[in-house]
Structure 1
Amino acid sequence: MPVLVEEFAVIERSSGPYALVTGPDGALWFTLVHSGSIGRLVPGEEPTSHQLDPECGPTVITVGPDGALWFTEHRAHHIGRITLDGKITEFALPTAKCGPFGIAAGPDGALWFTETAADRIGRITPDGRVAEFPLPATGAFPSAITAGADDGMWFTLNQANAIGRIGMDGAVSLHALPTESAAPVGIAAGHDGALWFAEIGAGQIGRITLDGLITEFPLPDRTSRPHAITPGSDGNQWFTEWAGNRVGSIAPDGTITVLDLPTAGSEPHGITVGPDGALWTALEIGALARISSPRTPAARRDLSARPA
């Protein structure tokens, strides 16, 4: 069945859409890493944005247990929170220059995040109380993080070439990857109860079961630098190929399908299922791309849409 791709320009081309998530209000919320702002887009309507410190470097964004959106400020070393009506609160972290990056809601009603420059996993409650947990590795560059089906938080160690897990008690376990210099980045829980992750350095998609069994699936283009990954509504995992200018899907049996994006050099980063059931990905060139099948309801068009 053919796949349709549409691109929607957001704010300014140089703003750098990076990560995105569907909010509880039926809108896509996304980080603009270069302009230091948070964007919001209801499919078919004009995008809006909320300005932060232009130099703060907002990166990953997620829905919190309180119904607000929570995000990391990688360069400002803060955790941010924005309500659906645009009220912003920022929380300083105990460790200076820790470089927060990934963030996800945990099963305990708190947000868990990675500290890339401090070899720590952090935890913040909705009222702003922060705890930090050191990792048994140095220079590991913990990156993305997600909740697993086992009530633990799973994360990638980009420079330690491993996948980690932290329990609600703070206990940490690490799982080394079979491929050297695989440099994992994105990670997400799959429909099958395992964790799926993108190996940006090896051009592979990995899968790890809750008991630590790892399988790796080479992509057709090993130089494509897969970045982010998310479960799709079709039962597959969908991922972005940052250097390959593609999005792809991997079925539970390991079958891989890739799709070229219409604009050359668009630099796809984050990917998520949108409020309309389609896949959406953030393109650093200044747009969000919508990936759908003919069965997916069409987004209402406006002048910012660029059909593929």
Structure 2
Amino acid sequence: MSVTEFTVAGPNEGPYGVAVANGEVWTTLVHAGVVARLSGDRFDLGAPDSRPSVIVPGPDDALWFTRSGDNRIGRSDGASFDVPGSPFGICVGPDDALWFTLMDTDQVGRVTLDGDVSTYPIGTSGAFPAMITAADHLWFTLNQGNAIGRMTTTGDVTAYPLPTEAVGAVGISAGAGAVWFVEILAAQAGRITPDGTIEEFPLPADSKPHAVVATDDGGCWITLWGAAAVARLDAAGNLIEQIDLGAGSEPHGLVLDADGSVWVALEKGSVAHIQP
């Protein structure tokens, strides 16, 4: 593997989420209220405390992102939409709308491409829904509820308790036949099948896994925030590779490119490209 870093931010601006769309790499600068492209373009949101966080390409060729600091969903054309809570995770749902979590109100929200917003309760108080992904349904981590949630597009929710207590689940990503997630407080990865069967897999101690992206072969890539590294697991949950990104790099979001390479947002101010 080779690792190439690209500086995209100044000191303390904090690249956090990362996305690839139409051959371009985008990242959110969570501490600056900016969305940036690797090409050098910067889009100031006009709200320094807006905290742009997770970013994904939408079905309309725009980039959509959560603004957890000012309770809005943003879009790369400059539009933004008010939501009733602090949004964090976001994904494209099976209905081609954008679905997002509302951390502080225990809801999952939906916004159409026209900007119509609706919300659905998850049915658990204080669960702190974090990241969200889509397969046949919506799947999301309940960071303080110690569970994985599943929601239909009509708002029906099922919660699956995790085997280990107090794991602090964060990242989640739908893959081939199962959904991967990570447990930042337990240093574990997990996988849940459509019928609710859960397996957990150990990661290096104190590695603080943060985000995950599933791969076509049934495995996944994971950012190890506490270890300043990324890790790759195979379809059986075995750790087959760990790549050091350097002390203080603080890896957060990651995304798989069409060629199988991986882009990682490093809070120190850069985006890393990991290529076979």
Report the TM range for the smaller structure's normalisation: over 0.9
Q: CA RMSD in A?
A: 1.3
Q: What is the aligned length?
A: 275
- SS of 2:148's equivalent? strand
**Equivalent runs, 1:210-229 vs 2, <5 Å:** 210-219=194-203, 221-229=204-212
Once the two structures are superposed, residues 78-97 of structure 1 have per-residue CA deviations (whole angstroms, 9 ceiling, x without a partner) of 00111xxxx2101111x2xx
Structure 2 counterpart of 1:19, one-letter code: G
**Equivalent runs, 1:35-74 vs 2, <5 Å:** 35-41=32-38, 46-52=39-45, 53-74=47-68
Using the alignment, how far apart are the partners of 1:12 and 1:258 within structure 2?
30
Aligned equivalent of 2:162: 177
Structure 2 counterpart of 1:33, one-letter code: V
Structure 1 counterpart of 2:167, one-letter code: A
Q: 1:75 aligns with which of 59, 69, 87?
A: 69
Using the alignment, how far apart are the partners of 1:11 and 1:254 within structure 2?
34
Using the alignment, how far apart are the partners of 2:100 and 2:35 within structure 1?
18
- SS of 2:237's equivalent? coil
Give the CA deviation at 1:13.
3.1
- SS of 2:246's equivalent? coil
Using the alignment, how far apart are the partners of 2:210 and 2:27 within structure 1?
16
Which structure is higher in RCO with an 8 Å CA cutoff and minimum separation 6?
1
TM-score of the aligned structures, taking structure 1 as reference length: 0.86
Identity level (%): 47
Aligned equivalent of 1:296: none
What runs of 5+ residues in structure 2 fail to find an aligned partner? none
Contact 2:252 2:266 (8 Å CA) reproduced: yes
Once the two structures are superposed, residues 61-120 of structure 1 have per-residue CA deviations (whole angstroms, 9 ceiling, x without a partner) of 1111211111000011000111xxxx2101111x2xx11000000111211000000000
Give the CA deviation at 1:11.
2.9
Q: 1:209 aligns with which of 177, 184, 193?
A: 193
Structure 1 counterpart of 2:121, one-letter code: P
Aligned equivalent of 2:119: 132
Give the CA deviation at 1:47.
2.2
Using the alignment, how far apart are the partners of 2:6 and 2:80 within structure 1?
29
Q: 2:228 aligns with which of 245, 248, 253?
A: 245
Once the two structures are superposed, residues 180-216 of structure 1 have per-residue CA deviations (whole angstroms, 9 ceiling, x without a partner) of 011110000113x100001101000000000000000
* Greater Cα radius of gyration, structure 1 or 2: 1
Contact 2:68 2:87 (8 Å CA) reproduced: yes
Once the two structures are superposed, residues 13-33 of structure 1 have per-residue CA deviations (whole angstroms, 9 ceiling, x without a partner) of 32100011111x210111110
Contact 2:219 2:237 (8 Å CA) reproduced: no
**Equivalent runs, 1:193-204 vs 2, <5 Å:** 193-204=177-188
Assess, with a 3 A threshold, how the Cα gap between structure 1 residues 28 and 233 changes in structure 2: closer, same or farther: farther
Contact 2:9 2:15 (8 Å CA) reproduced: no
Assess, with a 3 A threshold, how the Cα gap between structure 1 residues 121 and 54 changes in structure 2: closer, same or farther: same
- SS of 1:59's equivalent? strand
Contact 1:27 1:275 (8 Å CA) reproduced: no
Give the CA deviation at 1:277.
3.7
Aligned equivalent of 2:91: 104
What runs of 5+ residues in structure 1 fail to find an aligned partner? 294-308
Once the two structures are superposed, residues 254-298 of structure 1 have per-residue CA deviations (whole angstroms, 9 ceiling, x without a partner) of 2113424242111000011135541110000000111111xxxxx
Aligned equivalent of 2:82: 92
Matched, 1:186 2:171: yes
